[in-house]
A and B are shown apart, each in its own frame.
Chain A
Amino acid sequence: MAGLFGYTLALADDALISAQRMSWWISRAPQLEEDVALANIGLDQLGQARLLLAYAGEVEAAGRGEDDLAYLRDEREFRNVCLVEREQTDFGVTMARLLIFSAWQCELYAALSRSADATLAGVAGKAVKEVAYHLDHASRWVVRLGDGTDVSHQRMQAGLDAEWPWAAELFDDAFLDTGLVDSGVAALPSSLRDAVDAGVSAVIDEATLTRPDVATHYSAGRDGRHTEQLGFLLAEMQHLARSHPGATW
């Protein structure tokens, strides 16, 4: 069961791994403005991850800072949901995932901005304004592509179908020490589901897309059991720090 350290780490890892995937798009997006947009979104997520990782390190009180936690853990020690770690080389998939993920982050950070934990409340109070912008960006693309040409509609639907089964893990309470919820520190994951669902469904409707009717994938990223793709992501992300231990700018 995750206490304050594990909970903070899980939220940090979601943001960190999502940021790393987002950065893949730099120089590869369909247009220059989108390169800039996805880079900015990734930068916001990275900023949130850094604040959360630094706090997790403080809570753990074992001398690990944000860099140690980001660069010197192996995949089984990462606590992010599997939704954010998988390769995303299709723009429709990326927008579907960003829609789901940012809708969830909006609800999460809005709830956490009232957390009894002052640091979590501070991080969330800042982040909630940033992720509202991400959600707006994803929503616009999903609508434009969904309600676009036959091809864009079909590819956007395929993206949604691919990401939807991985969303369930965001709302799974099992990893969390419920004492954290009772004390007003954490937001109960399942309590965010209805609001996220309503927000995402409204965008899907406007985009003339169909809410996927697909079975949920079993995923246990919160317990450190990941898809094989996380290892490759970490190999790239951690390479420099591991090859040159202690190096600084």
Chain B
Amino acid sequence: MVTTTTGRAWGVAAAVLDPELPVLTIGELGILRDVVEDDRGRVHVQITPTYSGCPAMETIREELVEALTRAGYWHVDVEFVLAPAWTTDWMTAEARTKLSTYGVAPPVPRPRAGEPVLLQISVRCPQCGSLDTQESSRFGSTACKSLWVCRECREPFDHFKSH
């Protein structure tokens, strides 16, 4: 068995789209943790949830199995791993740009250990780019998002919470 982040199976797995944010792949989100394939066409995938209760995990599992089966792997198993805990720091720079273009403000850098959770720098409006924005609800349409409004262009928008 070979672990690789450049192999064919990794490429197939990493391209699976997140069902909640269909502009991002699970590779870009940092959900895909490990892919091990052997020379007999078997593959073992490890993914980690963003939040403990994330309802998208089952869908992602099914889509991984489908994508890898379509790519010719005859035995695919998907394992959920919890440690180390997922963090938005694992999101790629490309993912942040895509999110912003999609209309979701990407996560800002997380506070360091010991700093209060509340301390965070301004969130940039994905519509007009203004930093004059305000949180309207700490909880949004999915566990990973909060709801914001721009004071400049008056548009409401989702913000992918730093986690």
Contacts and interface: CB of A to CB of B under 8 A. Distances in A.
Interface string B46-84: 000101111100000000000000000000000001111
A155 interface: no
B117 A51 contact: no
Interface stretch (B14-22, B23-31, B95-103, B134-142): B134-142
Contacts of A118: 83
Nearest to B110: A129
Given A118-B83, A129-B85, A44 B52 contact: yes
B60 to A, nearest CB: 15
B83 A133 contact: no
A72 to B, nearest CB: 21
B118 interface: yes
A43 B143 CA distance: 8
A33 B141 CA distance: 10
Interface string A52-91: 0000000000000000000000000000000000000000
B147 A122 contact: no
Instruction: Select the residue from B49, B52, B54 with max chain A CB neighbours within 10 A.
Output: B52
Contact of B53 (A43, A122, A129): A43
B163 to A, nearest CB: 6
B147 A47 contact: no
Interface residues of A, number: 28
Given A36-B137, A136-B118, A137-B138, A44 B83 contact: no
Contact of B143 (A40, A122, A125, A127): A40
A45 B53 contact: yes
Nearest to A38: B139
B53 A47 contact: yes
Given A46-B53, A127-B52, A37 B137 contact: yes
Chain A at the B interface: mostly helix, strand, loop or mixed?
A: helix
Contacts of A111: none
Contacts of A51: 52, 82
B61 to A, nearest CB: 14
Interface in A193-216: none
B51 A44 contact: yes
Contacts of A130: 51-52
Chain B at the A interface: mostly helix, strand, loop or mixed?
A: loop
B86 interface: yes
A122 B138 contact: no
Given A37-B137, A40-B139, A136-B117, A125 B52 contact: no
A143 interface: no
Contact of A37 (B82, B117, B118, B139): B139
Given A36-B139, A47-B49, A130-B51, A125 B147 contact: no
A153 interface: no
Contact of B49 (A36, A37, A126, A137): A126
B79 to A, nearest CB: 13
B119 to A, nearest CB: 11
A33 B53 contact: no
Interface of A: 33, 36-37, 39-41, 43-48, 50-51, 118-119, 121-123, 125-127, 129-130, 132-133, 136-137
Given A43-B55, A44-B51, A119-B82, 18 more contacts: A33-B147, A36-B141, A40-B139, A43-B53, A44-B53, A47-B52, A47-B54, A50-B52, A51-B82, A118-B83, A122-B82, A123-B52, A125-B85, A127-B52, A132-B117, A136-B117, A136-B118, A137-B138
Closest 8 CB pairs of A and B: A47-B53, A47-B52, A122-B82, A122-B83, A33-B137, A37-B139, A43-B53, A40-B139
